[in-house]
C-alpha cells in the first residue's frame, strides 16, 4: 500500500474550504487515486461508487470548480486522463533526475509532454501542457458554433440548463465533431440516451454531456442507434421531443 504526504492545514486553504462537500471528497479521492506522477485515469462511474451516491459528482462540474481561479487539473489524452500539477509540487518539490523515484515521474511526464523543460532543476510542469492545450482548443475552434447548437439541443431535449459557454462541455462535443461525427448523429445519441435513461433512477444521473460525449462511450451509443434496437414507445417519444424542439425554435 502506497503512502503519501498530506497537509494537516489543507482545509484552511480557501480553495478547499470553498468547495462543495462532494467535490471536497472528490479532490481527496484524486490525490489518493492518481498514480505517483499525479495522473488519474478518468472513470467517474468507479469514482462515484467509492464516494457514494449521496456525494454526486460529474466531469463538467469538477473541472469548473477545480479550475475556477487557476489551472489545477490538466485534461489530456482525449479526456481520458487528468494531471494534477499540485500533486507533484507537494509530494516531491522540485524534481531531480538524479533521484530514482523522481526520474520515474519525469519519464512519465515527458511521455505525455507535461514538462516544460528537460533541463536540471526542471519544473514548473504546466507551461508546455498549457501551450499544447491552446493548440488543441484552436484546432477545435471551428466547431464551436456547432457545439453550442448541440448544447442548446441537449437542454431542450433533456430539460437541463447547461451553459453553451462552458469550455469543458464545448471541448468534449467539439472533439467528437472533429473526429467526423455529424451534428445529426450527436443529436440522435442525445435523444436515444435521454429516452432510455430518463425514467431509470439509476441511470438518469448520467444524462449529462460528459457521459454522452465521452470518447470511450459515444461510438457505442451511436452504434446502438444503428442497430435499430428501439421500441415503439421510444420512437413516439423521440418524435414528441422533435416537436417540442420545433415549437421552442418557433
Could you report the per-residue pLDDT of 31-63, keeping only the tens digit for each? Answer: 999 999 999 999 999 999 999 999 999 999 999
Task: Return the higher-pLDDT residue of 92 and 140.
Answer: 92
Is the residue at 133 inside a domain?
A: no
pLDDT of 139 above 60: no
Strand partners, 76: 81
Q: Domain tally for the chain?
A: 2
The fraction of the chain above a pLDDT of 90, given in percent, is: 50
State which of 96, 124, 152 marks the end of a domain: 124
pLDDT tens-digit readout, 155-207: 999 999 999 888 778 888 988 998 899 999 999 999 999 999 999 998 999 99
Number of H helices, E strands in the chain: 13, 3
Same domain, 163 and 236: yes
User: Do 209 and 173 contact (CB within 8 A), yes or no?
Assistant: yes
Query: Residue 164 in contact with residue 151, Cβ under 8 Å?
Result: yes
- Going by pLDDT thresholds of 50, 70 and 90, the confidence category of residue 246 is very low
Task: Write down the pLDDT at residue 11.
Answer: 84
203 contacts 212 by C-beta, under 8 angstroms? no
237 located within any domain: yes
Q: What is the DSSP letter of 34?
A: S
Dihedral sign computed on CA atoms, order 124, 127, 128, 132: positive
Higher-scoring residue by pLDDT: 203, 228: 203
User: Does 76 fall in a domain?
Assistant: yes
**Residues 103-133 pLDDT 10s:** 999 999 999 988 764 433 333 433 444 444 4
pLDDT for 229 equals 46
pLDDT, mean over the chain: 82
Task: Using pLDDT thresholds of 50, 70 and 90, give the confidence band for residue 137.
Answer: very low
pLDDT of residue 76: 93
Has residue 5 been placed in a domain?
A: no
User: Do both 118 and 190 map to the same domain?
Assistant: no
The Cα 129–Cα 113 span in angstroms is 6
DSSP E strand boundaries for the chain: 39-41, 74-76, 81-83
Domain termination site, one of 124, 152, 172: 124
Output 57-63 pairs: Cβ under 8 A, ≥24 positions apart: 57/22, 57/23, 57/26, 58/208, 58/210, 58/211, 59/168, 59/172, 59/208, 59/210, 59/211, 59/214, 60/162, 60/166, 60/168, 60/169, 60/172, 60/208, 60/209, 60/210, 61/23, 62/23, 62/26, 63/168
Residues 92 and 24 in one domain: yes
Over residues 73-100, the mean pLDDT reads: 90
Whether residue 175 sits in one domain with residue 70: no
In a domain, 244, yes or no: yes
* Whether residue 120 sits in one domain with residue 14: yes
User: What is the extent of the structural domain holding 155?
Assistant: 142-249
Question: pTM (2 decimals)?
Answer: 0.51
- Measured distance CA(155)–CA(160) in Å, rounded: 4
207 and 147 within one domain: yes
Calculated CA dihedral for residues 92, 41, 129, 135, nearest 10 degrees: 180
Say whether both 103 and 177 belong to one domain: no
Amino acid at each position: 500500500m502506497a503512502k503519501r504526504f498530506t497537509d494537516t492545514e489543507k482545509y484552511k486553504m480557501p480553495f478547499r474550504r470553498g468547495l462543495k462537500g462532494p467535490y471536497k471528497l472528490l479532490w481527496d479521492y484524486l490525490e489518493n487515486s492518481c498514480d505517483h506522477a499525479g495522473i488519474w485515469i478518468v472513470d467517474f462511474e468507479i469514482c462515484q461508487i467509492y464516494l457514494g451516491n449521496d456525494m454526486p459528482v460529474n466531469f463538467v462540474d469538477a473541472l469548473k470548480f477545480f479550475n475556477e481561479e487557476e489551472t489545477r487539473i490538466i485534461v489530456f489524452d482525449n479526456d481520458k486522463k487528468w494531471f494534477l500539477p499540485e500533486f507533484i509540487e507537494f509530494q516531491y518539490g522540485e524534481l531531480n533526475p538524479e533521484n530514482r523515484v523522481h526520474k520515474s515521474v519525469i519519464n512519465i511526464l515527458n511521455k505525455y509532454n507535461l514538462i516544460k523543460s528537460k533541463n536540471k532543476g526542471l519544473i514548473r510542469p504546466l507551461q508546455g501542457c498549457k501551450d499544447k492545450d491552446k493548440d488543441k482548443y484552436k484546432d477545435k475552434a471551428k466547431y464551436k458554433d456547432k457545439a453550442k447548437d448541440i448544447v442548446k439541443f441537449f437542454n431542450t431535449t433533456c430539460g437541463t440548463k447547461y451553459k453553451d459557454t462552458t469550455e469543458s462541455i464545448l471541448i468534449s462535443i467539439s472533439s467528437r465533431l472533429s473526429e467526423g461525427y455529424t451534428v445529426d448523429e450527436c443529436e440522435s445519441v442525445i435523444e436515444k440516451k435521454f429516452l432510455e435513461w430518463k425514467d431509470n433512477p439509476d441511470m438518469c444521473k448520467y444524462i449529462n454531456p460528459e457521459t454522452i460525449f465521452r470518447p470511450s462511450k459515444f461510438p457505442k451509443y451511436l452504434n446502438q442507434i444503428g442497430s435499430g434496437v428501439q421500441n415503439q414507445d421510444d420512437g413516439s417519444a423521440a418524435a414528441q421531443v422533435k416537436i417540442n424542439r420545433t415549437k421552442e425554435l418557433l
